[in-house]
Amino acid sequence: METLKIGMIGYKFMGKAHSHAYRDLPMFFPTHIRPQMKVICGRNEEGVAQAASQFGWEEYTTNWEDLLKRNDLDLIDINAPSDVHKDIAIKAAKAGKHVFCEKPLALTLKDSREMLEAVELADVKHMIGFNYRFAPAVMLAKKLIDEGRLGDIYHFRAWFLQDWIVNPEFPLVWRLQKDIAGSGAHGDLGAHLIDLAHYLIGEITEVIGMNETFIKERPLPSNMTGLSATGNLDGQKGAVTVDDATLFLARFRNGALGSFESTRFATGHRSTNSFEINGSKGSVIFDFERMNELSVYFVDDQDDVQGFRRVLATDPPHAYSDAWWPAGHPIGYEHTFIHSAVELMEAIREDRLPVPNFYDGVNCQQVLEAVDLSINERRWVQISEL
Ligand code: SOE
């Protein structure tokens, strides 16, 4: 089988998500090119070594330029903070590697155009991490629109709401610094919404927006990661240089109107990524917290059953359903087995019985047989009879 040899830069949240994807892919999509997790790269040696062994990479390095010099790699996966995307992507392309880069592509439009130019010139494949497109429910929305089943599209309204920095004492992590992140909620969350809008509705022709940075200064962290940080230097503070929230209205080329809201200040919303589309023949609603479902409404339904129906978009005939689980077992089913396995491993390590165990199995069997007995003898059966 053909393999795609991967070198990955970044090993935190996205590094884990990408590694997990490469590891699981062959199990569900056996006919595809097999990803080979060759080498993972990160600045902190201890951190990257730990990630390499935890995620299953063959090797690790702390020097991304060395990584690009290797001739045993086909693809460079960039999920390090946004300020390094450009340099790495351009050099990777020049070295003849395919490039996968997390969003937002770059800190500025100018930089992103240079990156595009580089991959085109090098004639390598390039991809960006707009992962929400690949939720089968989003793909179903796309199919309904493309087949004209929602009619003319009037509205696209989308919101991506988080609340992880509401506390003013939350430190100034890199995602709150413009020179590293490019922007705040806008580029981090709004980028996903804009991509979904492009994918589903089409080209945006004009926009008007507003933004706010509610907390203008935050404690400086001594040690930071993407979404969290520890310690701070004696109450010293630094300026937040990105938006906490950005809202905008948009017009699409096809006449539809759009509204977009991205915020890290929506208390109670950990990560609500949703959109609603209204067309002349129907509507759809997507909510990532229920990512396997799409709510669908058709104007032409008979009056007495009008309303939104909930479609499980991970069942056949929907996108990727053949590769996953039998009908009715949505994506995520697999994680219940991972959790079971964790309990088994932990119990063995702690020298205790895992739960559930054979006692639970016997208790279950007892009820099964009591029910059979009750059916056979047409009477109430006490569980204690068995
Ligand atoms: C953090 O805000 C974050 O992880 C984003 O960076 C991701 O792109 C988004 O999918 C979830 O939230």
Mutation to probe ligand 1, out of 18, 188, 194 (largest number of atoms < 8 A from CB) = 188
Q: Are residues 191 and 218 in contact, defined by beta-carbon separation less than 8 angstroms?
A: no
CATH superfamily of domain region 3-130: NAD(P)-binding Rossmann-like Domain (3.40.50.720)
Q: Report how far apart, in Å, the C-alpha atoms of 135 and of each of 1, 63, 200, 249, 322 are.
A: 27, 34, 13, 25, 14
Domain ranges of the chain: 3-130, 133-353+364-377
**Mean pLDDT, rounded, for 218-226:** 77
Does the pLDDT at position 337 exceed 80? yes
pLDDT at residue 235, rounded to an integer: 77
Q: Whose CA is nearest to atom 9 of ligand 1?
A: 189
Which of 18, 162, 271 for mutating ligand 1's site (highest number of atoms within 8 Å of CB)? 271
Contact 287, 157 (CB under 8 A): no
Angle at 194 (CA atoms; ends 262, 292), nearest 5 degrees: 85
Q: Report the distance separating Cα 109 and Cα 106, nearest Å.
A: 7
Of the ranges 19-33, 121-135, 205-219, which one carries the lowest mean pLDDT score?
19-33
Return d(Cα 66, Cα 347) in angstroms, integer.
Answer: 42
Asked if pLDDT for residue 30 goes beyond 90, the answer is no
Q: Rg of the chain's alpha carbons, rounded to an integer? A: 25
Weakest-pLDDT range from 63-72, 155-164, 202-211, 228-237: 228-237
pTM (predicted TM-score):
0.93
Q: Average pLDDT, stretch 292-308? A: 97
Sheet of strand 245-252: strand arrangement: 204-212, 245-252, 257-263, 153-162, 271-279, 282-287, 293-298, 309-312
The Cα–Cα gap between 108 and 288 comes to: 28
Q: What is the distance, to the nearest Å, from the Cα of residue 267 to the centroid of all Cα atoms in its chain?
A: 21
Can you tell me the mean pLDDT for 199-215? 98
CATH class assigned to 133-353+364-377: alpha beta
CA distance 333 to 348: 24
DSSP for 244-255, please give it. Answer: SEEEEEEEETTS
